[in-house]
Amino acid sequence: MERERTLIIVKPDAVQRGLTGEIIKRFEQRGLRIIGMKFMQVSRELAEKHYDVHRERPFFKALVDYITSSPVVVMALDGTNAVQAARNTIGATRPSESAAGTIRGDFGLEIGRNLVHGSDSPENGQKEVALWFDESELVDWGRVVDPWLYE
């Protein structure tokens, strides 16, 4: 399998609730490798670019207002099947439909406060990582445990 990149955003509700460390831990324990991470206040311009696919939907302004309302932690993750592995770790978009043991299943209650964003496809993972990170901010590194995770 080819390695993929995925973008993870620990959203304002998770940061405000003090869940950042727990969320990062779950991705690391899953075996995904952090290749970039930053704590930031999202600009409206970046938020609008990120959510551009929803621009014509009635909830677009609310998405932008929300993601810019408080700092976030943004991560670029790498691994085999990284997008699907991350999405399985996150859980269903609606927390009420998320399985126990997922981030949203364990900590979420409402769709509008669902704690974390994860890329929805390998193609979008590449695009989103490139939108949020300069290539110089990403570190390609090897872990001593990689042979125990990947065939």
Can you tell me which residue has the tokens 């964003």? 117
Structure tokens given for 84:
């699907």
Known active-site residue 117? yes
Beta strands in 11-151 (DSSP E): 33-40, 72-80, 116-118
| Residue in 143, 107, 133 with CA at minimum distance from that of residue 50 | 133
In the set 6, 68, 117, 125, the catalytic residue is: 117
Strand 72-80 relative to strand 3-10, pairing: antiparallel
* Cα 1 to Cα 12: distance, rounded to the nearest angstrom: 33
Active-site residue set: 117
